[in-house]
A and B are shown apart, each in its own frame.
Chain A
Amino acid sequence: MITRKHIVTEPGGHRARRSLYWQYAVEPFFYLSPAIILIGAVMLMPLVIGISYSFQSIDLLRPFNTGWVGFENYTKLWSDRKFWLALENTFWWTFWSITLQFFLGLGLALLLNTQFYGKKLFQALVFLPWAVPTFLSALTWAWLFNPVIGPIPHWLAALGVLSEPYNILGDPDLALWGPITANVWFGVPFFAITLLAALQSIPGDMYEAAEIDGASAWQTFTKITLPFLAPMIAITVMLRTIWIANFADLIFVMTGGGPASSTQIVSSYIFTTAFRKLDFGYASAIAVALLGILMVYAVLLLVLRKKLVKV
C-alpha cells in the first residue's frame, strides 16, 4: 500500500504508469514463477491426469486392456467391501490419532508457555520425535510392540491390561493401535509448536487483568486462552486431519495393512492397488473418492469455524 502511494507521486505520469504495470503484473511473478511452475508441473498437472485415470482402465498387468471406461471404476468401488472396511479404519485411525495428538500437544504447549528450569533443553528434546524419519519410528515402534523382544506387551500384561504378552500388531481387533501410538508420538510436537506459537501471540495484559480480577486458572483457560486459540485450533485440526487420513507410511511399514486388512486405511489401499496390483485406474478412483470425502469434511469444518469465530 505504501509503495503504491510512493510510486504514484513520482514525477512523470508515463513512467509511473509503466512502473505500476511492472509492479502489479510482472514483478510479483518474477519472484513467484519458479514456485508456480513447479507446483503446476509436479502437483496440479498430475492431479488432473490422476482424475482422468479414474475414468480409464489402466492396468499394467493387462496393458492391452486400456481405454476409457466411464464410471466403471466407481461402480466397482461402490460394491468393494475392502474399500468400505478401509474407510472405517481410516475413520478410527484419524479420529484417535488426531484426538490424542491434539490433547497431548495442547498440554505440551501450555507447559512450554510457562517458565521452568531447563526449558530450552526440554523443548528441543520433546520436539525431537518430529525429526525422526517416519520409517524409523515405524520400525522402532514395531520393535517395542514385539511380543518376544519388545517391552510394551510385557508391561501391559504386568499391569493386567493384557492377559498375556501377546502380539498386539497381529490381533485384528487391536492392531491399529500400534500405528496410532507411533503416529501420536510423532505428531504431538507439531501440534505443540503451532499451539505454542498461538499461545505466545496472546497479549500478556489479558492475563494480568484476569489475575487482578481474581480469576481461577480454569477460568483464565476457558475464558481467555481457549477463545484466542480457537481459530488456530480449527485450522490445524483441519489440516492435520486431512494429512493424517492421507498418511500411510506408518501403517505401510508396521503392519502392511494386515492382519486380514484390519489396519488397511484408504490411502494404504490406494498404494497397494497401484503398486502391488498395478491397477492405476482403480487406484485413482479410490483416491478421487477419498479426496471427495476430505473436501466435504474441510468445507464442514470451515463453516463450523466461521460460526464459532463470529460468536
Chain B
Amino acid sequence: MVFAQLQRPAMVIGKYAAILFYLTFALFPLYWLLKIAVTPDRLIYSDGTRLWPSEFTLSNFTAVLFQTDFLSYFTNSLVVSLGTAGLTTVFAAGAGYAFSRFNFGGKKIIIAVMLITQMFPLLMIIAPIYKVVASLGLLNSLTSLIIVYTAFNIPFATFLMQSFFDGIPKDLEEAAMMDGCSRFQALRKVILPLTLPGLGATLGFVFTAAWSELLFALMLISKNDTMTFPVGLLTFVSKFSVDWGQMMAAGVLALVPSCLFFIFIQRYLVQGLTSGAVKG
C-alpha cells in the first residue's frame, strides 16, 4: 500500500538488494562469532579469514560448559536478569497505569524527572552508588545489582507500559467498577490480562538490557562466585590467556536466552510504540 511505486521492476531489484544488504550487515558478525566457536583451536589462526572453517568441533562448547565457571556466571546472570525483569515490569506496570489513568498533582514533574534520568551520564552516579553499596556491605551481591538495574530500567519500561495501557479503553475498568470491583481488582482481573503482550514486551526488553549490562556489574562485583556473565567473560581474557575459541563458544551460549526473548518481543515492541506515548 505504502510506496506503491516500489512494485516497478527496478524498484523491486533495489528492494531485494537492500534486504540482502541489511541481512548481511546484521548477521555477518554473528556468523563469524559462531564460526570461531566451532573452529578447533589449532586452526583459528591458520583459518584466519576463511569464510568457512576447514574443520568443525564442539570441544570449545564442552570445555566452556565443564571446565570453566561458565555455568555459575550464566546462572548469576539469569537470576539477576529475571529478578530485574520481574521487578521492573511489576513496578513499571503500576507507574504506567497511574500515568495512563489518573490526573494528579505533580504528574508532569514526575514524568519530567523520569525523562531526565534518561539524559544524565550514568557514570556520574557510579561513584556515589559504589560508596553507598559498599557502606551497606552489599558489594559482590546479586541483590545490589538487581536493585540498581531495576531502578535504571523503570523509566523506559514505564513509558512503554503507559503506551500499552493507553491503547486499552477506559470503559472496561469502569464497567468492572460499576459491577462492584475495586479499581485494583479491575486492573488485576480485566486490564492486566489485556496488556499481556505489553507485559511480555517489557519483560523481554528489560531482560535483554540486564543480561548485557557491563559497567555496573564490573564495578559492584569482584568475586568470582557472584560474577555475572559479561564480567565473567571479560575475565576469560586475562585468566585463560585469551582462549578465543572458548570465549566465542561462551558468547554463543550467552546469546541464546537474550535472542530468544528478543525474537519473541520485537513484534509487540513495534506495536506498543505505535499505540502511544513514546511518540513524543
Picked from A35, A123, A128, the residue with its CB within 8 Å of the CB of B95 is A35
Interface string of B246-280 (1 = CB under 8 A from A): 01100100110011011100110111011000111
B26 pairs with A32, CB closer than 8 A: no
In the bound complex, CA of A4 to CA of B170 (Å): 12
Interface of B is mostly: helix
Q: Which of A68-76, A78-86, A167-175, A231-239 contacts B (4 or more CB under 8 A)?
A: A231-239
Picked from A6, A202, A291, the residue with its CB within 8 Å of the CB of B124 is A291
Asked whether A32 and B279 contact (CB < 8 A) given A2-B174, A110-B3, A136-B255, the answer is no
In the bound complex, CA of A137 to CA of B151 (Å): 25
B262 pairs with A200, CB closer than 8 A: no
Picked from B3, B147, B280, the residue with its CB within 8 Å of the CB of A38 is B147
In the bound complex, CA of A215 to CA of B32 (Å): 44
In the bound complex, CA of A73 to CA of B269 (Å): 44
Q: Indicate whether A176 reaches chain B with its CB closer than 8 angstroms.
A: no
B19 pairs with A122, CB closer than 8 A: yes
- Contact residues in A for B158 (Cβ distance below 8 Å): 35
B29 pairs with A141, CB closer than 8 A: yes
In the bound complex, CA of A236 to CA of B48 (Å): 39
B22 pairs with A111, CB closer than 8 A: yes
- Contact residues in A for B13 (Cβ distance below 8 Å): none
A201 pairs with B279, CB closer than 8 A: yes
Q: Indicate whether A303 reaches chain B with its CB closer than 8 angstroms.
A: no
Q: Indicate whether A252 reaches chain B with its CB closer than 8 angstroms.
A: yes
Asked whether A140 and B102 contact (CB < 8 A) given A249-B215, A291-B120, A291-B121, the answer is no
Picked from B120, B121, B152, B251, the residue with its CB within 8 Å of the CB of A139 is B251
Q: Indicate whether B112 reaches chain A with its CB closer than 8 angstroms.
A: no
Interface of A is mostly: helix
A43 pairs with B152, CB closer than 8 A: yes
Asked whether A36 and B212 contact (CB < 8 A) given A193-B269, A196-B270, A274-B123, the answer is no
Look across to chain A and name the residue whose beta carbon is closest to the beta carbon of B151. Answer: A42
Picked from B6, B29, B148, B251, the residue with its CB within 8 Å of the CB of A114 is B6
- Contact residues in B for A143 (Cβ distance below 8 Å): 32-33, 36, 244, 248
Asked whether A47 and B132 contact (CB < 8 A) given A36-B110, A125-B27, A144-B29, the answer is no
B119 pairs with A232, CB closer than 8 A: no
In the bound complex, CA of A32 to CA of B106 (Å): 12
Picked from B11, B126, B152, B171, the residue with its CB within 8 Å of the CB of A274 is B126
A28 pairs with B102, CB closer than 8 A: yes
**Which chain A residues in 143-181 approach chain B with CB under 8 Å?**
143-144, 148-151, 154
How near does chain B come to A58, taking the closest CB pair, in angstroms? 8
A43 pairs with B117, CB closer than 8 A: yes
Q: Indicate whether B127 reaches chain A with its CB closer than 8 angstroms.
A: yes
- Contact residues in A for B18 (Cβ distance below 8 Å): 107, 111
A275 pairs with B259, CB closer than 8 A: no
Q: Which residues of B contact A (CB under 8 A)?
A: 1-6, 11, 15-16, 18-19, 22-23, 25-27, 29-30, 32-33, 36, 44-45, 48-49, 51, 90-92, 94-95, 97-98, 101-105, 107, 110, 113-114, 117-129, 131-132, 147-148, 150-152, 154-155, 158, 170-171, 174, 183, 208, 211-212, 214-215, 219, 229-230, 233-234, 244, 247-248, 251, 254-255, 258-259, 261-263, 266-267, 269-271, 273-274, 278-280
Q: Which residues of A contact B (CB under 8 A)?
A: 1-4, 6, 23-25, 27-32, 34-36, 38-39, 41-47, 49-51, 53, 58, 104, 107-108, 110-111, 113-116, 120, 122-137, 139-141, 143-144, 148-151, 154, 185, 188-189, 193-194, 196-202, 204, 207-208, 211, 216-217, 220, 231-232, 234-236, 239, 242-243, 246, 248-249, 252-253, 267, 270-271, 274-275, 280, 283-284, 287-288, 290-291, 294-295, 298
Given contacts A42-B152, A234-B280, 17 further A-B contacts (CB under 8 A): A29-B104, A34-B90, A38-B91, A51-B124, A125-B23, A127-B26, A129-B29, A133-B212, A136-B251, A139-B251, A148-B45, A193-B269, A197-B278, A200-B274, A211-B4, A242-B119, A290-B124
